């Protein structure tokens, strides 16, 4: 197989978009129609990483890169930006946000001794990002938290941004008390049989759980993804055992499935 380069990929993209003999599907795409594919490819990459499948990671990285190349081609056609300017802007931003690595603000500059204070580095990063937001004349610290983020990720981002202004619990006891309060309000809404209020209170409970995760320094999205996988493994164990017995989950009792669940748990699944 030929060893292709980045230039070959950029050329391929321009050919796919060629109005005369390009790909009919690629020619009619725009920024908004590509977004669902970008999200899908990003999740497929995350899944490959979780599975530790290096060959799959290798492939999915290419698919994610293609999304960047596609958007860059669209930008080039509109005269807004191209792949080279995307790279240039990215390098400039990363140099600017890493003064502990590039002290003079140039790619070639170096520090005498690297700091190991990760908290100080994170604080500097956030200070620089705050200055960047001010430069964009954003009215709120929450303005550039993407609304398209998965809800757990966006809740975490919103809470972190608000916390930077001092709007945060002083300790985890307050977070736990708030979570209990929200659960009590959900129970009350359920007793009143108000579906609209139940949905609202359920959202408050989930938001409080994300807040608890943040204070425990646990990534809510990653934690839930891990639990999803654990549930999947254990339930598939139940299905497998039942199948070996010539039956199915639908034909089994809850007690029987609970016993198999405990077996799966004991096996470390």
Same domain, 231 and 193: no
Residues 6+ apart with CB under 8 A from 216: 172
Q: Which range marks the domain in which residue 194 is found?
A: 151-218
Output 132 or 46, whichever has higher pLDDT: 46
At 172, which CATH number? 1.10.287.1080
Query: Is 98 a residue whose pLDDT tops 80?
Result: yes
What's residue 105's pLDDT? 87
CB 122 within 8 A of CB 129: no
C-alpha span between 46 and 59 (Å, rounded): 12
Q: What are the strands, taking DSSP E only, across 32-125? A: none
Q: Quick one: which of 112, 84, 204, 115 has its CA closest to 151? A: 204
111 token code pair: 């520090």
Whether 117 shows a pLDDT value over 80: the answer reads no
128, pLDDT greater than 90: no
Q: How confident is the model at residue 76 (pLDDT cuts 50, 70, 90)?
A: very high
pTM of the shown model:
0.65
* 227 shares a domain with 214: no
Cβ(247)–Cβ(257) below 8 Å: no
What are the structure tokens assigned to 17, written together?
């978009």
Same domain for 182 and 209, yes or no, is yes
CB-count exposure of residue 232 (10 Å: 0-12, 13-18, 19+): exposed
> Taking the CB of residue 243, how many other CB atoms lie within 10 A of it?
11
Q: In angstroms, rounded to a whole number, what is the distance separating the alpha carbons of residues 111 and 115?
A: 9
Q: Is residue 107 part of a domain?
A: no
Give the list of residues 6+ apart from residue 238 with CB closer than 8 angstroms, or none: 249, 257, 260, 261, 264
pLDDT of residue 99: 87
The total number of structural domains that make up the chain: 3
C-alpha 93/C-alpha 197 separation (Å) is 44
């Amino acid at each position: 197989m030929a060893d292709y380069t980045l230039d070959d990929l950029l050329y391929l993209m321009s050919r796919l978009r060629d109005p005369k003999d390009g790909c009919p599907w690629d020619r009619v795409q725009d920024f908004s129609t590509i977004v669902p594919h970008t999200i899908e490819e990003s999740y497929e990459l995350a899944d490959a990483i979780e599975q530790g499948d290096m060959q799959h990671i290798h492939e999915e990285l290419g698919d994610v890169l293609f999304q960047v190349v596609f958007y860059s081609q669209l930008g080039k056609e509109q005269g807004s930006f191209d792949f080279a300017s995307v790279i240039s802007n990215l390098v400039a931003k990363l140099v600017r946000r890493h003064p502990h690595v590039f002290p003079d603000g140039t790619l070639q500059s170096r520090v005498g001794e690297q700091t190991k204070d990760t908290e100080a580095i994170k604080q500097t990063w956030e200070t620089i990002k705050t200055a960047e937001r001010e430069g964009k004349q954003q009215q709120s610290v929450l303005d550039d938290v993407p609304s398209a983020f998965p809800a757990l990720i966006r809740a975490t981002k919103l809470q972190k941004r608000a916390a930077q202004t001092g709007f945060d619990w002083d300790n985890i006891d307050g977070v736990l008390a708030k979570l209990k309060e929200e659960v009590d309000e959900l129970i009350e809404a359920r007793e009143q049989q108000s579906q609209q209020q139940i949905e609202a209170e359920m959202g408050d409970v989930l938001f409080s759980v994300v807040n608890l995760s943040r204070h425990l320094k646990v990534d809510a999205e990653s934690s839930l993804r891990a639990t999803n996988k654990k549930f999947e493994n254990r339930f598939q164990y139940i299905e497998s055992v039942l199948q070996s017995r010539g039956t199915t989950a639908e034909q089994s009792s809850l007690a029987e499935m609970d016993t198999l669940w405990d077996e799966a748990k004991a096996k470390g699944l």
